[in-house]
Structure 1
């Protein structure tokens, strides 16, 4: 049983997510350590698939590096709205199948048996292919998801076939996904059984988190790693033994500005328990109820969440407009300058001027 102070637990979590002073060199290294990177079109500043690597690598990261790693080098792969490290592919593939589908989705799939065959035949004949190039021959329409989806059933069918392991995303044209048969997209993937896949995924997830609650549905680490106690916490924790071994080799902290979809923020209960940070994205709140802003980015200083940045990219004026830097805990002069420097670096990475810093 490892007994950790809260400071040690936070340092382990920060370092596992590559948010300490020792910056990684490229986007593949980032994904291998922090795990899947969420893909989301929300670009108040920049999409999450770009700001997540930037917050680790810094100014030298370019979007083209991500595209190259996915489409040319095949060191990353896209699946279910995330970019995964390539070494995760055997584990992810082993879990695919109808067992991942909801009952209602299985019913929809069975009712569209002919449509499924049509889509697979078109992908086999002409893939890689865009969803817009495939005819909608569906027999039954699915629920509309309260307006989130169009009436075209092809994208939904492709996403379902992705979960069953029959098709895969192999690239993008802008925001549009290019699809191919999974066996062509990822040939020669080693076969492993589901139990082994789950064990390996649990270990890799713990590596990504450093420390996590064993029963957390967000982290999914199960009994991987070793048991730990954290000072002042009654939770039962699991900790990565390699993270424990590296505790004395501390490169120090820095300022990091995190996209709201960053993996560091995903496990909200852990965020509250270890960091005393109750993060709520206000994206879907009425404007009058927002405190920190529509798409505020949390600010990490060292191993504490100290503030939130309310800023937006004005593409027409080519400026990053800072509406507010909310100090949840008062910054000292050095901290404020470090935060301002990181915001200026963000503007430089975006290729725009920064206005509103004060």
Structure 2
């Protein structure tokens, strides 16, 4: 049997594992949402909303019928999903919560030694955390502003009244610290602001009572990572959940060779080969994979498919960077630009913004990669995706400021 995974098959497999090979109509109702998130592992949360926030964008990229209320239902009512940390703030299947016990312990050890946290939490972080926990226990779901500006309950005195540092007064820092270390959980959001409550009042008991050993924790991190990305270096395996070190992943790979993982050659877009760790069933998967649909999707800059920029360049030949922190005069493209995926290739970028006052989705920028031309068929697919987004955003019109796109 060949041990070379061709670039074409590697791209197809990677798209499939990230939920981008199926029809946009496959996911039909909210009951199926946790399964979608489990398939891709987690969904990153981000506050920027030029068109749509990243978590909603990622899910709409995989389902035409997705509705914002689906996520609220599973996070706040069904409790089948929870918010915590992977490489960043993320939405995670609740069934994975037992493995976060070890993450909470590791996060505690890391954060208490961090000068960044020490500067924000003051000279006595232990006492501050105790006061914040006591406040949440007595008052229920708590937002950071509740601690800075009092509570509706007249008997509750203001907990903190200090000058904020980058918006992070000690009480907010304590809330986030307690969330990152497992004492608090996100109970709900109002607008985009988190409300924290005691973990035992948010996470179902069945998940809080399961315990895993350190070895089981490392094994879970590695097996689920290789199941969700298919192949990668030990560093890429460790970085998937960002829950273990690259050395721990390397030790696991070496120990598990020929049982849960194997070595294989992966062909890059340039025709070179890279020796990589891979799931033992990778070639069986490739034989039954569907081809990606012949449509164009506008992906979020935070989509899990493109999270690892070096891997995207290696597999797809697509060099993508987020330019929101780059001065306008130095940007190559735009402030917040969306990669355009057609079948298994990135064909370019598009910059869109929402104007609620005029009920318009406005195209501000459009750039095709050098290997692609704007054929009539391609233009029709791009326009179809624009109308899909216009409908999802409940807008009336599309306005293009780009000469090539006359929508």
Q: Mind listing any 5+ residue stretches in structure 2 that lack a counterpart? A: 149-157, 254-259
Measured after TM superposition, the shift of residue 242 of structure 1 is: 4.6
The residue number in structure 2 matching 1:79 is 84
Check 1:112–1:100 CA distance in 2 against 1; reply closer, same or farther (3 A cut): closer
Is contact 1:44–1:312 with CA below 8 Å preserved after alignment?
yes
3-state SS of 1:293 partner: coil
Contact 2:351 2:365 in 1 (8 A): yes
- Structure 2 contact 162–169 (Cα < 8 Å) conserved: no
Please say if residues 43 and 58 of structure 2, whose CA atoms lie closer than 8 Å, have aligned partners that are also in contact. yes
Determine the structure 1 residue equivalent to 2:126. 113
Match of 2:177 in 1: 160
Residue 198 of structure 1 aligns with which residue? 218
Distance (whole Å) between structure 2 residues aligned to residue 327 and residue 57 of structure 1: 25
* Structure 1 counterpart of 2:96, from 88, 96, 99: 88
Counterpart of 1:182 (choices 195, 199, 217) is 199
Q: Would the aligned equivalents of 1:37 and 1:84 in 2 still touch at CA under 8 Å?
A: yes
If asked which structure has higher relative contact order (CA below 8 Å, sep 6+), I would say 1
8 A contact 2:137–2:198 mirrored in 1: yes
Deviations 1:19-65 (A, max 9, x none): 1134451432221011221111111110001100000112x101000
Is the 8 Å Cα contact of residues 13 and 289 (structure 2) preserved in structure 1?
no
Distance in 1, matches of 2:281 and 2:194, equals 37
Q: Structure 1 residue aligned with 2:372, among 313, 330, 349?
A: 330
1:4 and 2:46 correspond: no
What RMSD over aligned residues (CA atoms) do the two structures have, in Å? 2.4
Offset of residue 139 of structure 1: 11
Task: Give the 3-state SS of the residue equivalent to 2:185 in structure 1.
Answer: strand
Say if 2:147 and 2:159, in contact at 8 Å, map to a contact too: no
Work out which of the two has the higher radius of gyration on C-alpha atoms and give 1 or 2.
2
| 1:27 counterpart = 2:33 | yes
CA 87–241 in structure 1, closer or farther in 2 if over 3 Å, else same:
farther
TM-fit CA distance, 1:140? 9.7
**SS of equivalent to 1:236:** strand
Matched residues, number: 352
Contact persistence 2:117–2:173 (CA under 8 A): no
1:208 deviates by 2.5
**Partners of 1:140 and 1:36 in 2: CA distance:** 36
Partner of 1:305: 346
Alpha-carbon distance in structure 1 between the residues aligned to 2:7 and 2:281: 18
Q: 1:210-230 CA deviation, whole Å, 9 max, x = no partner?
A: 332222254369336332211
Q: Does 1:246 align with 2:285?
A: yes
Q: 1:74 to 1:312 in 2, by over 3 A?
A: same
Q: How far is 1:292 from its partner?
A: 2.1
Runs of 4+ in 1 over 6 A off after TM superposition: 138-142
Task: Check whether the contact 1:281–1:295 (CA below 8 A) recurs between aligned residues.
Answer: yes
Q: Does 1:230 align with 2:266?
A: yes
| TM-fit CA distance, 1:156 | 1.2
Q: CA deviation at 1:245?
A: 2.1
Question: In the alignment, does 2:329 pair up with 1:288?
Answer: yes
CA distance in structure 1 between the partners assigned to 2:226 and 2:283 by the alignment = 12
